[in-house]
Structure 1
Amino acid sequence: MTTRPVTVDVDTTDDAAGLALVTVDHPPLNLYDQALHEALRDAVAELERVRPRAALVRAEGKVVSGGVDVKQIFHPMAQAGDVDRGTRYFDELVDLGRRIHRLPFPTVFAAHGLTLTWAFEVALACDLIVASPRASFGLIEATVGLTPAMGGTQRLAERAGPGRARLLVMTGGRFGAEELERWGVVDRLLPAEGFDDAARELAASLAAGPTRAHAATKEILRHLAEGGLEAAHRVTPGAAGQLFATADLQNAMASFVEQGHGKATFRGE
């Protein structure tokens, strides 16, 4: 039986209720080809439909991804000089990255090894990137005369600044997880031993939290990135104020008054 290159499995166990595990498994190198492109697009649509309380994006194999299947994806366009086809394809990629970025719940990307091109761009579209010290990252499109086109360059600049984005993209180099943590690109390093379990534990903790409040946080930060400080100020009162209608806030406030801080449980309602 052929396995889909990307699958979505919603964990409903008590310790991870509502956590979606998005797994890339396209051996041997998880290269981005047409099958993976379609599977990733379907996975994002499934997340939009199911609306889990959090999602963890992870990969099977020794590497997260070795990059793109250039021979299948880009070589035919290059040989034909097909600007229109290339533009349409990159428009799809930008839209895909945008949809991941705008998912209304926390998203965590777990990088245990080499994470190149599209996989790094998906990571940058997620809310949090966790990595093993063994992981390395690269937007290496310049080595074939391209530039990243899923939104990775601009999201990298948002995290690390335009100068470091230029350095990483223009050199086409590979950068270690520890260096990228210092840059603010990787949010947290997790030990290589037990990495997958630790990443799941972090994502499950977000799924168990006030996910409606997390969605409001994402909305505020998105407006900051897209429109600046004043744009974020404009949406903050409404985004935060609407939370008073949620059962999570009402129950958490009652719990705080009756039992003190840190005793509340959340249901995403």
Structure 2
Amino acid sequence: MSDVVKLEQDGPLAVITFDSPPLNLFDDAVFEGFDRAVRAVAADPPRGLLIRAEGKVVSGGVDVGKVFDGMSPEAGGQLWDDLLDTIHVLDELPLPTVFAAHGLCLTAAFEIALACDVLLASERARFGLVEIVVGLTPSMGGPQRLAERAGPNRAKELIFTGELFDAATMERWGVVNRLYAPDAFEAESRAFAQKVANGPTKAHAATKRLVAAQKEGGARAADAIVAEVSGPLFATEDLQNAVRSFLTDGPGKATYEGR
């Protein structure tokens, strides 16, 4: 897929890995590699997606000298349109998406994390949208998605100050879903992603559609599409097999195939 952004398959789970040492800085090659990887996942969907990074940090942010220096307002607007298009492809994947942050996670990487369904963090991880250092606001969806998770005032505080926030604070604010000890983080985050990927994939896709409808128009908007979204689940092999398993062996024994 790319020298700096790798796409691999681990059973039902697709794994995108940032690997651009030493800081996994986002430059054109990383942005383009990530876009290709996300579109490859969308073109042939697995049953789950894990996004992670190699090295000491998740990412030190954008390579400012290579990406922003000398950029015109027109080119800047086009850059944000292109990057948000990638974020929207990620956001709309019909499968659980999990981001694993083992260390420092800044700017573009944090914005990608906020576009995922679940954000897992090592207790050592720190997060920041620090674009104020170059006179920018985060523009890959960070402010709005952070506001969805933590509320508008917390989002503005984090961005206005440009400060770094530890994983425990991010969990308390509702940004991080789960914390793991550093020495267990790789195994625990991979196991979590595998667990959701091995679940009823079509039901997970239905869950994502209902939650998205609620975000757009409230609970009644989600109610209005339940029959359309959840009715077809009765035709899936996963539901039919799970019901038989429930009746024969009790709950929690079903094996799902994503069909």
Scaled by the length of structure 1, the TM-score of the pair is 0.94
Aligned to 1:96: 86
1:171-198 CA-to-partner distances (Å, cap 9, x unmatched) read 1111000000000000000111121111
Counterpart code for 2:201: T
1:9 partner letter = E
Report the equivalent of 2:102: 112
Q: Could you tell me how far 1:218 is from its partner in structure 2?
A: 0.5
Does the aligned pair in 1 maintain the 2:2–2:33 contact within 8 Å?
no
Partner amino acid, structure 1, of 2:5? V
The answer for the alignment partner of 2:220 in structure 1 is 230
- The root-mean-square deviation of aligned C-alpha atoms, in Å, is 1.1
Deviations 1:12-54 (A, max 9, x none): 2xxxxx1111110011100010000110010011111220110
- Cα distance in 1, alignment partners of residues 78 and 233 from structure 2: 39
Aligned partner of 1:193: which letter? D
Aligned twin of 1:5: 4
Amino acid at match of 1:61: G
Output the CA distance in 1 between the equivalents of 2:89 and 2:2. 24
Q: Percent identity?
A: 52
Find the aligned partners of 1:123 and 1:110 in 2 and give their Cα distance.
Answer: 8
Alignment of 1:135-150 (within 5 A): 135-150=125-140
Letter in 2 for 1:150: M
C-alpha displacement at 1:230, in angstroms? 2.2
Aligned partner of 1:208 in structure 2 is 198
1:24 to 11, 18, 24: 18
Residues 16, 52 of structure 2: 8 Å contact kept: yes
The 2-side partners of 1:90 and 1:181 are apart by 28
Which residue is 2:49 aligned to?
Answer: 55
Aligned to 1:67: 61
Over 3 Å off, 4+ runs = none
Q: What is the match of residue 234 of structure 2?
A: 244
For residues 119-157 of structure 1, what are the alpha-carbon distances to aligned partners after superposition, in whole Å with 9 as ceiling and x for unaligned?
000000000000001000000111211011111110100
Counterpart secondary structure, 1:76: coil
Structure 1 residue 3, shift from structure 2 partner = 5.9
Residues 96, 150 of structure 1: 8 Å contact kept: no
Asked if the contact 1:132–1:191 (Cα under 8 Å) also holds between the matched residues in 2, the reply is yes
User: Following the alignment from structure 1 to structure 2, what is the Cα–Cα distance between the partners of residues 134 and 146?
Assistant: 27
2:16 is paired with a residue of what secondary structure? strand
Corresponding residue for residue 44 of structure 1: 38
More divergent stretch after superposition (94-103 vs 224-233): 224-233
What's 1:169 paired with?
Answer: 159
Q: Does the CA contact (< 8 Å) of 1:68 and 1:118 recur in 2?
A: yes
Q: Measure how far apart 1:237 and its partner are.
A: 2.1
Q: What does residue 220 of structure 1 align with?
A: 210
Q: Which runs of 5+ in 1 are unaligned?
A: 13-17
Q: Is contact 1:107-1:128 (8 Å) kept?
A: yes
Residues in 2 aligned to 1:143 and 1:239: alpha-carbon distance in whole angstroms: 44
Q: 1:27 to 1:3 in 2, by over 3 A?
A: farther
Structure 2: unaligned runs, 5 residues or longer: none
Aligned partners of 2:69 and 2:133: how far apart in 1? 14
CA distance in 2, matches of 1:199, 1:19: 12
Counterpart CA distance in 1 for 2:47 and 2:128 is 30
Question: In structure 1, how many angstroms separate the alpha carbons of the residues matched to 2:4 and 2:220?
Answer: 42
Listed one character per residue, the Cα deviations across residues 83-116 of structure 1 (whole Å, up to 9, x for unaligned) are 1111010011111111111111001100000000
